[in-house]
Protein backbone atom coordinates (compact mmCIF):
# COMPACT_ATOMS: atom_id res chain seq x y z
CA UNK A 1 0.00 0.00 0.00
CA UNK A 2 1.17 3.48 -0.86
CA UNK A 3 2.06 5.99 1.83
CA UNK A 4 -0.82 8.46 2.22
CA UNK A 5 0.26 11.92 1.11
CA UNK A 6 0.71 14.47 3.91
CA UNK A 7 -1.78 17.05 2.68
CA UNK A 8 -2.12 18.90 6.00
CA UNK A 9 1.66 19.33 6.20
CA UNK A 10 1.78 20.53 2.60
CA UNK A 11 -0.93 23.13 3.24
CA UNK A 12 0.75 24.47 6.38
CA UNK A 13 4.13 24.55 4.63
CA UNK A 14 2.65 26.51 1.75
CA UNK A 15 0.92 29.17 3.85
CA UNK A 16 3.54 29.55 6.59
CA UNK A 17 6.38 32.06 6.56
CA UNK A 18 9.89 30.81 5.74
CA UNK A 19 13.50 31.93 5.43
CA UNK A 20 13.64 30.81 1.82
CA UNK A 21 11.65 31.33 -1.35
CA UNK A 22 11.09 28.17 -3.38
CA UNK A 23 10.18 28.33 -7.07
CA UNK A 24 8.75 24.89 -7.80
CA UNK A 25 9.47 23.85 -11.37
CA UNK A 26 6.87 22.01 -13.48
CA UNK A 27 9.35 19.19 -14.30
CA UNK A 28 10.07 18.52 -10.62
CA UNK A 29 12.42 20.00 -8.09
CA UNK A 30 12.58 23.63 -7.10
CA UNK A 31 14.88 26.61 -7.43
CA UNK A 32 15.32 27.77 -3.84
CA UNK A 33 16.53 31.23 -2.87
CA UNK A 34 17.91 31.26 0.67
CA UNK A 35 17.36 34.62 2.31
CA UNK A 36 20.14 36.06 4.49
CA UNK A 37 19.87 35.50 8.23
CA UNK A 38 21.08 38.22 10.54
CA UNK A 39 21.83 37.92 14.24
CA UNK A 40 18.91 39.03 16.41
CA UNK A 41 19.17 42.52 17.87
CA UNK A 42 19.09 42.61 21.67
CA UNK A 43 16.78 45.26 23.15
CA UNK A 44 16.88 44.77 26.89
CA UNK A 45 15.96 41.13 27.45
CA UNK A 46 14.19 40.92 24.09
CA UNK A 47 15.78 39.35 21.02
CA UNK A 48 14.37 40.90 17.84
CA UNK A 49 15.07 38.95 14.66
CA UNK A 50 15.09 41.40 11.76
CA UNK A 51 16.25 39.00 9.04
CA UNK A 52 14.01 39.03 5.95
CA UNK A 53 11.52 36.24 5.35
CA UNK A 54 9.33 35.25 2.42
CA UNK A 55 6.47 37.47 3.51
CA UNK A 56 8.78 40.45 4.05
CA UNK A 57 10.04 40.09 0.47
CA UNK A 58 6.50 39.90 -0.87
CA UNK A 59 5.46 42.95 1.16
CA UNK A 60 8.37 44.86 -0.36
CA UNK A 61 7.28 43.68 -3.82
CA UNK A 62 3.72 44.83 -3.09
CA UNK A 63 4.93 48.23 -1.86
CA UNK A 64 7.11 48.65 -4.95
CA UNK A 65 4.19 47.73 -7.20
CA UNK A 66 1.90 50.25 -5.45
CA UNK A 67 4.53 52.96 -5.90
CA UNK A 68 5.11 52.04 -9.54
CA UNK A 69 1.37 51.93 -10.30
CA UNK A 70 0.68 55.28 -8.70
CA UNK A 71 3.67 57.11 -10.21
CA UNK A 72 2.95 55.69 -13.67
CA UNK A 73 -0.75 56.54 -13.36
CA UNK A 74 -0.03 60.08 -12.24
CA UNK A 75 2.41 60.69 -15.10
CA UNK A 76 0.05 59.16 -17.68
CA UNK A 77 -2.88 61.24 -16.45
CA UNK A 78 -0.78 64.42 -16.56
CA UNK A 79 0.27 63.62 -20.12
CA UNK A 80 -3.29 62.86 -21.20
CA UNK A 81 -4.64 66.02 -19.58
CA UNK A 82 -1.90 68.15 -21.16
CA UNK A 83 -2.87 66.80 -24.55
CA UNK A 84 -6.38 67.95 -23.76
CA UNK A 85 -8.76 65.05 -23.62
CA UNK A 86 -10.41 62.57 -21.31
CA UNK A 87 -8.13 60.04 -19.58
CA UNK A 88 -8.32 56.61 -21.10
CA UNK A 89 -6.99 53.11 -20.64
CA UNK A 90 -5.53 51.67 -17.44
CA UNK A 91 -4.78 55.08 -15.78
CA UNK A 92 -8.47 55.91 -16.11
CA UNK A 93 -9.41 52.71 -14.25
CA UNK A 94 -6.92 53.38 -11.44
CA UNK A 95 -8.19 56.95 -11.20
CA UNK A 96 -11.78 55.75 -10.89
CA UNK A 97 -10.84 53.32 -8.08
CA UNK A 98 -8.84 55.99 -6.23
CA UNK A 99 -11.70 58.46 -6.54
CA UNK A 100 -14.21 55.88 -5.30
CA UNK A 101 -12.14 55.07 -2.20
CA UNK A 102 -11.49 58.77 -1.55
CA UNK A 103 -15.07 60.02 -1.99
CA UNK A 104 -17.34 57.10 -1.13
CA UNK A 105 -15.23 55.45 1.56
CA UNK A 106 -13.03 58.06 3.27
CA UNK A 107 -15.03 61.27 2.87
CA UNK A 108 -18.47 59.64 3.16
CA UNK A 109 -17.61 57.95 6.48
CA UNK A 110 -15.18 60.37 8.15
CA UNK A 111 -16.89 63.59 7.20
CA UNK A 112 -16.47 66.37 4.68
CA UNK A 113 -13.85 68.33 6.64
CA UNK A 114 -11.49 65.62 7.81
CA UNK A 115 -12.20 62.92 5.24
CA UNK A 116 -9.78 64.42 2.71
CA UNK A 117 -7.03 64.50 5.35
CA UNK A 118 -7.39 60.78 6.04
CA UNK A 119 -7.85 59.78 2.39
CA UNK A 120 -4.09 59.16 1.78
CA UNK A 121 -3.94 56.75 4.73
CA UNK A 122 -7.10 54.90 3.67
CA UNK A 123 -5.88 54.71 0.06
CA UNK A 124 -2.48 53.39 1.16
CA UNK A 125 -4.19 50.67 3.21
CA UNK A 126 -6.45 49.74 0.30
CA UNK A 127 -3.78 49.49 -2.40
CA UNK A 128 -1.17 47.81 -0.20
CA UNK A 129 -3.60 45.14 1.03
CA UNK A 130 -4.99 44.67 -2.48
CA UNK A 131 -1.52 44.04 -3.94
CA UNK A 132 -0.55 41.77 -1.04
CA UNK A 133 -3.73 39.72 -1.54
CA UNK A 134 -3.31 39.48 -5.30
CA UNK A 135 0.37 38.49 -5.05
CA UNK A 136 -0.76 35.31 -3.30
CA UNK A 137 -2.76 34.28 -6.38
CA UNK A 138 0.05 34.47 -8.95
CA UNK A 139 2.26 31.38 -9.45
CA UNK A 140 5.11 31.14 -6.92
CA UNK A 141 3.54 33.99 -4.98
CA UNK A 142 2.96 34.20 -1.24
CA UNK A 143 0.21 36.04 0.59
CA UNK A 144 1.82 38.41 3.07
CA UNK A 145 -1.65 39.26 4.43
CA UNK A 146 -2.08 35.56 5.30
CA UNK A 147 0.36 36.15 8.17
CA UNK A 148 -1.09 37.18 11.51
CA UNK A 149 1.90 39.46 12.22
CA UNK A 150 1.42 41.45 9.00
CA UNK A 151 -2.31 42.00 9.54
CA UNK A 152 -1.59 42.73 13.21
CA UNK A 153 0.85 45.48 12.23
CA UNK A 154 -1.70 46.94 9.79
CA UNK A 155 -4.35 46.85 12.53
CA UNK A 156 -1.92 48.57 14.95
CA UNK A 157 -1.53 51.48 12.52
CA UNK A 158 -5.35 51.62 12.36
CA UNK A 159 -5.57 51.63 16.19
CA UNK A 160 -3.00 54.43 16.44
CA UNK A 161 -4.76 56.46 13.74
CA UNK A 162 -8.20 56.01 15.31
CA UNK A 163 -7.11 56.93 18.84
CA UNK A 164 -4.73 59.81 17.96
CA UNK A 165 -7.24 61.34 15.54
CA UNK A 166 -9.83 61.10 18.32
CA UNK A 167 -7.48 62.87 20.75
CA UNK A 168 -6.80 65.64 18.23
CA UNK A 169 -10.45 66.08 17.23
CA UNK A 170 -12.06 65.88 20.68
CA UNK A 171 -9.37 67.43 22.87
CA UNK A 172 -8.12 65.85 26.11
CA UNK A 173 -11.44 66.32 27.92
CA UNK A 174 -13.57 65.00 25.09
CA UNK A 175 -11.24 62.05 24.58
CA UNK A 176 -11.40 61.11 28.27
CA UNK A 177 -15.18 61.07 27.92
CA UNK A 178 -14.90 58.20 25.43
CA UNK A 179 -13.29 56.11 28.19
CA UNK A 180 -14.94 57.43 31.36
CA UNK A 181 -18.51 57.37 30.18
CA UNK A 182 -21.46 58.06 32.48
CA UNK A 183 -24.72 56.66 31.07
CA UNK A 184 -27.20 59.53 30.70
CA UNK A 185 -30.06 59.77 33.19
CA UNK A 186 -28.14 58.31 36.15
CA UNK A 187 -27.30 60.23 39.33
CA UNK A 188 -25.58 59.69 42.65
CA UNK A 189 -24.23 56.28 43.60
CA UNK A 190 -25.75 54.58 40.52
CA UNK A 191 -23.75 56.89 38.23
CA UNK A 192 -20.49 56.06 40.04
CA UNK A 193 -21.11 52.30 39.88
CA UNK A 194 -22.18 52.37 36.24
CA UNK A 195 -19.17 54.52 35.29
CA UNK A 196 -16.83 52.08 37.03
CA UNK A 197 -18.44 49.20 35.13
CA UNK A 198 -18.27 51.03 31.82
CA UNK A 199 -14.53 51.91 31.94
CA UNK A 200 -13.23 48.39 31.18
CA UNK A 201 -16.01 47.86 28.65
CA UNK A 202 -15.05 51.03 26.77
CA UNK A 203 -11.35 50.10 26.77
CA UNK A 204 -12.13 46.58 25.52
CA UNK A 205 -14.38 48.14 22.86
CA UNK A 206 -11.46 50.25 21.62
CA UNK A 207 -9.15 47.22 21.41
CA UNK A 208 -11.66 44.80 19.86
CA UNK A 209 -12.06 46.88 16.67
CA UNK A 210 -8.45 46.52 15.42
CA UNK A 211 -8.37 42.94 16.73
CA UNK A 212 -11.35 42.10 14.51
CA UNK A 213 -9.69 43.86 11.56
CA UNK A 214 -6.56 41.75 12.11
CA UNK A 215 -8.41 38.44 12.36
CA UNK A 216 -10.78 39.13 9.46
CA UNK A 217 -8.06 39.82 6.92
CA UNK A 218 -5.82 36.99 8.13
CA UNK A 219 -8.59 34.40 8.26
CA UNK A 220 -10.03 35.33 4.88
CA UNK A 221 -6.72 35.08 3.06
CA UNK A 222 -5.64 31.91 4.89
CA UNK A 223 -9.02 30.19 4.50
CA UNK A 224 -9.05 30.78 0.74
CA UNK A 225 -5.63 29.16 0.34
CA UNK A 226 -6.61 26.28 2.63
CA UNK A 227 -9.70 25.55 0.52
CA UNK A 228 -7.78 25.67 -2.78
CA UNK A 229 -4.95 23.48 -1.48
CA UNK A 230 -7.37 21.00 0.14
CA UNK A 231 -9.25 20.64 -3.15
CA UNK A 232 -5.95 20.03 -4.93
CA UNK A 233 -5.01 17.54 -2.19
CA UNK A 234 -8.10 15.44 -2.97
CA UNK A 235 -6.45 14.54 -6.30
CA UNK A 236 -3.48 12.99 -4.49
CA UNK A 237 -5.73 11.17 -2.00
CA UNK A 238 -7.47 9.40 -4.90
CA UNK A 239 -4.25 9.01 -6.88
CA UNK A 240 -4.18 5.18 -6.73
CA UNK A 241 -7.88 4.44 -7.24
CA UNK A 242 -8.50 3.02 -10.73
CA UNK A 243 -11.08 4.98 -12.72
CA UNK A 244 -12.53 7.33 -10.12
CA UNK A 245 -9.30 9.32 -10.04
CA UNK A 246 -10.05 10.90 -13.43
CA UNK A 247 -13.53 11.94 -12.26
CA UNK A 248 -12.01 13.35 -9.07
CA UNK A 249 -9.32 15.11 -11.11
CA UNK A 250 -11.88 16.86 -13.31
CA UNK A 251 -14.18 17.81 -10.46
CA UNK A 252 -11.32 19.03 -8.30
CA UNK A 253 -9.85 21.21 -11.04
CA UNK A 254 -13.27 22.69 -11.79
CA UNK A 255 -13.77 23.61 -8.12
CA UNK A 256 -10.22 24.99 -7.83
CA UNK A 257 -10.83 27.27 -10.81
CA UNK A 258 -14.10 28.39 -9.25
CA UNK A 259 -12.39 29.07 -5.90
CA UNK A 260 -9.59 30.96 -7.68
CA UNK A 261 -12.17 33.23 -9.33
CA UNK A 262 -13.85 33.70 -5.96
CA UNK A 263 -10.46 34.47 -4.38
CA UNK A 264 -9.87 37.26 -6.92
CA UNK A 265 -13.14 38.82 -5.79
CA UNK A 266 -12.36 38.25 -2.10
CA UNK A 267 -8.91 39.86 -2.50
CA UNK A 268 -10.61 43.04 -3.72
CA UNK A 269 -13.46 42.81 -1.19
CA UNK A 270 -11.19 42.35 1.85
CA UNK A 271 -8.99 45.32 0.87
CA UNK A 272 -12.17 47.37 0.46
CA UNK A 273 -13.61 46.19 3.79
CA UNK A 274 -10.38 46.92 5.69
CA UNK A 275 -10.35 50.47 4.25
CA UNK A 276 -14.10 50.90 4.83
CA UNK A 277 -14.08 49.70 8.45
CA UNK A 278 -10.99 51.76 9.31
CA UNK A 279 -12.66 54.90 7.97
CA UNK A 280 -15.94 54.05 9.73
CA UNK A 281 -14.04 53.68 13.05
CA UNK A 282 -12.13 56.95 12.48
CA UNK A 283 -15.46 58.64 11.70
CA UNK A 284 -17.04 57.21 14.86
CA UNK A 285 -14.23 58.70 16.96
CA UNK A 286 -14.53 62.11 15.25
CA UNK A 287 -18.24 62.43 15.98
CA UNK A 288 -18.17 61.06 19.52
CA UNK A 289 -19.83 63.44 21.97
CA UNK B 1 3.95 -6.80 27.50
CA UNK B 2 5.94 -3.71 26.58
CA UNK B 3 4.55 -3.79 23.06
CA UNK B 4 1.02 -3.97 24.46
CA UNK B 5 1.62 -0.95 26.67
CA UNK B 6 3.00 1.01 23.78
CA UNK B 7 0.02 0.10 21.63
CA UNK B 8 -2.37 1.20 24.39
CA UNK B 9 -0.55 4.53 24.76
CA UNK B 10 -0.72 5.00 20.99
CA UNK B 11 -4.46 4.25 21.00
CA UNK B 12 -5.05 6.74 23.83
CA UNK B 13 -3.10 9.43 21.95
CA UNK B 14 -5.07 8.79 18.76
CA UNK B 15 -8.36 8.96 20.68
CA UNK B 16 -7.36 12.31 22.21
CA UNK B 17 -6.38 13.63 18.79
CA UNK B 18 -9.65 12.42 17.27
CA UNK B 19 -11.66 14.06 20.02
CA UNK B 20 -9.81 17.34 19.44
CA UNK B 21 -10.53 17.14 15.72
CA UNK B 22 -14.19 16.36 16.43
CA UNK B 23 -14.42 19.34 18.78
CA UNK B 24 -12.84 21.67 16.22
CA UNK B 25 -15.23 20.40 13.56
CA UNK B 26 -18.33 20.85 15.73
CA UNK B 27 -17.18 24.33 16.72
CA UNK B 28 -16.61 25.36 13.11
CA UNK B 29 -20.04 24.03 12.15
CA UNK B 30 -21.82 25.88 14.96
CA UNK B 31 -20.05 29.16 14.12
CA UNK B 32 -21.01 28.78 10.47
CA UNK B 33 -24.68 28.06 11.32
CA UNK B 34 -24.83 31.38 13.17
CA UNK B 35 -23.08 33.29 10.40
CA UNK B 36 -25.28 31.71 7.76
CA UNK B 37 -28.44 32.75 9.61
CA UNK B 38 -27.14 36.28 10.14
CA UNK B 39 -25.78 36.95 6.67
CA UNK B 40 -28.80 35.27 5.06
CA UNK B 41 -31.09 37.60 6.94
CA UNK B 42 -29.02 40.64 5.98
CA UNK B 43 -28.97 39.61 2.32
CA UNK B 44 -32.68 38.84 2.21
CA UNK B 45 -33.71 42.08 3.86
CA UNK B 46 -31.32 44.10 1.69
CA UNK B 47 -32.73 42.61 -1.52
CA UNK B 48 -36.25 43.27 -0.25
CA UNK B 49 -35.35 46.88 0.55
CA UNK B 50 -33.75 47.34 -2.88
CA UNK B 51 -36.87 45.95 -4.55
CA UNK B 52 -39.01 48.42 -2.65
CA UNK B 53 -36.74 51.40 -3.27
CA UNK B 54 -34.44 50.80 -6.25
CA UNK B 55 -33.16 54.39 -6.09
CA UNK B 56 -31.64 53.78 -2.63
CA UNK B 57 -29.85 50.57 -3.65
CA UNK B 58 -26.37 52.14 -3.48
CA UNK B 59 -26.71 53.08 0.18
CA UNK B 60 -28.37 49.77 1.02
CA UNK B 61 -25.57 47.81 -0.67
CA UNK B 62 -22.93 49.69 1.34
CA UNK B 63 -24.72 49.06 4.63
CA UNK B 64 -25.23 45.41 3.68
CA UNK B 65 -21.54 44.82 2.99
CA UNK B 66 -20.54 46.61 6.19
CA UNK B 67 -22.89 44.57 8.39
CA UNK B 68 -22.04 41.31 6.67
CA UNK B 69 -18.34 42.07 7.21
CA UNK B 70 -18.93 42.60 10.93
CA UNK B 71 -20.68 39.21 11.24
CA UNK B 72 -18.04 37.57 9.08
CA UNK B 73 -15.31 38.90 11.38
CA UNK B 74 -16.77 37.21 14.44
CA UNK B 75 -17.30 33.94 12.55
CA UNK B 76 -13.76 33.93 11.23
CA UNK B 77 -12.47 34.58 14.75
CA UNK B 78 -14.29 31.39 15.82
CA UNK B 79 -12.87 29.48 12.86
CA UNK B 80 -9.33 30.68 13.58
CA UNK B 81 -9.60 29.64 17.22
CA UNK B 82 -10.95 26.22 16.21
CA UNK B 83 -8.02 25.83 13.83
CA UNK B 84 -5.55 26.99 16.48
CA UNK B 85 -6.81 24.45 19.02
CA UNK B 86 -6.53 21.78 16.34
CA UNK B 87 -2.93 22.72 15.53
CA UNK B 88 -1.81 23.20 19.14
Asked if A273 is an interface residue toward chain B (Cβ–Cβ < 8 A), one would say yes
**Strands (DSSP E) along chain B, which ranges?**
none
Q: What is the pLDDT of residues A22-56, one digit of tens each?
A: 888 888 777 888 888 887 778 877 888 888 888 99
Asked if B77 is an interface residue toward chain A (Cβ–Cβ < 8 A), one would say yes
| Count of domains forming chain B | 1
Give domain status of residue B57, yes or no.
Answer: yes
Nearest CA in chain B to A219: B76
Give domain status of residue B17, yes or no.
Answer: no
Q: What is the pLDDT of residues A245-264, one digit of tens each?
A: 888 888 999 999 999 999 99
Asked if A280 is an interface residue toward chain B (Cβ–Cβ < 8 A), one would say yes
Identify the three-state secondary structure at position B88.
Answer: coil
Set of chain B residues whose Cβ sits within 8 Å of the Cβ of A273: 65-66, 69
Q: What is the pLDDT of residues B48-82, one digit of tens each?
A: 999 999 998 888 988 898 888 888 888 888 888 88
Set of chain B residues whose Cβ sits within 8 Å of the Cβ of A219: 76-77, 79-80
CATH number at residue B47: 1.20.20.10
Nearest residue, CB atoms, A280 vs list B66, B80, B87: B66
Nearest residue, CB atoms, B73 vs list A104, A212, A280: A212
Set of chain A residues whose Cβ sits within 8 Å of the Cβ of B69: 216, 273, 276-277
Point out which residues pair with A47 in neighbouring strands.
Answer: A42
Show which of residues 242-271 on chain A sit within 8 Å of chain B, judged by CB atoms: 269
> Residue A24 — φ and ψ, nearest 5°?
-70, 135
Q: DSSP readout, A174-212?
A: HHHHTTS-PPTT--HHHHHHHHHHHHHHHHHHHHHHHHH
Give domain status of residue B15, yes or no.
Answer: no
Q: What is the pLDDT of residues B19-49, one digit of tens each?
A: 777 888 888 899 999 999 999 999 999 999 9
Q: Residue B2 — very low, low, confident or very high, per pLDDT cuts 50/70/90?
A: low
Mean pLDDT over each residue of chain B, to the nearest integer: 82
pLDDT of residue A1: 42
Is B76 in Cβ contact with A220 (below 8 Å)?
yes
| Number of inter-chain CB pairs under 8 A, A vs B | 35
Set of chain B residues whose Cβ sits within 8 Å of the Cβ of A272: 65
Q: DSSP readout, chain A?
A: -PPPP-HHHHHHHHHS--SEEEEE-TTS-EEEEEPP-PPPEEETTEEE-----HHHHHHHHHHHHHHHHHHHHHHHHHHHHHT-S---SHHHHHHHHHHHIIIIIIIHHH-HHHHHHHHHHHHHHHHHHHHHHHHTTSTT---GGGSHHHHHHHHHHHHHHHHHHHHHHHHHHHHHHTTS-PPTT--HHHHHHHHHHHHHHHHHHHHHHHHHHHHHHHHHHHHHHHHHHHHHHHHHHTTTSTTHHHHHHHHHHHHHHHHHHHHHHHHHHHHHHHHHHHHHHHHHHHT--
Query: Is pLDDT of A121 > 60?
Result: yes
Please name which of A123, A121, A127 lies closest in space to residue A157, comparing C-alpha atoms: A121
pLDDT of residue B3: 62
Average pLDDT over residues A138-160: 91
Set of chain A residues whose Cβ sits within 8 Å of the Cβ of B25: none
Q: What is the pLDDT of residues A150-180, one digit of tens each?
A: 999 999 999 999 999 989 988 888 888 888 8
**Containing domain of residue B60, as a range?**
25-87
pLDDT of residue A75: 92
Set of chain B residues whose Cβ sits within 8 Å of the Cβ of A220: 72, 76
Nearest residue, CB atoms, B80 vs list A213, A215, A280: A215
Rg (CA), chain A: 24
Q: What is the pLDDT of residues A74-105, one digit of tens each?
A: 999 888 888 877 778 888 899 999 999 999 88
Query: Is pLDDT of B87 > 70?
Result: no
Residue ranges per structural domain of chain A: 55-286
pLDDT of residue A192: 85
CB A41 within 8 A of CB A267: no
Whether the model pTM is above 0.95: no
A28 contact partners, CB below 8 Å, separation of at least 6: none
pLDDT of residue B14: 65
Query: Is pLDDT of B1 > 70?
Result: no
Nearest CA in chain A to B65: A273
Nearest CA in chain B to A221: B76
Please report, for residues B29, B30, B40, the alpha-carbon distance to residue B33 in angstroms, rounded to integers and kept in the order given.
6, 5, 10
Amino acid sequence: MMQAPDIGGMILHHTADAHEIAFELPWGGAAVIHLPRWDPIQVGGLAIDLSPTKHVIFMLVAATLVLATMVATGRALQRQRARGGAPKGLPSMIEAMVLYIRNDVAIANIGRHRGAQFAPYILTLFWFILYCNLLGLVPWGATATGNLMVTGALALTALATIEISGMVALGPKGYLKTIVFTPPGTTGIAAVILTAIMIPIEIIGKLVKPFALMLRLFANMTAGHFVILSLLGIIFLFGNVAVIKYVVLGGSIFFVLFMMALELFIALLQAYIFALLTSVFIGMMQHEH
Amino acid sequence: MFMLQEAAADAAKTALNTNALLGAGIGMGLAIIGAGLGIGRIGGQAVEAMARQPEASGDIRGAMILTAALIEGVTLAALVFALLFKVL
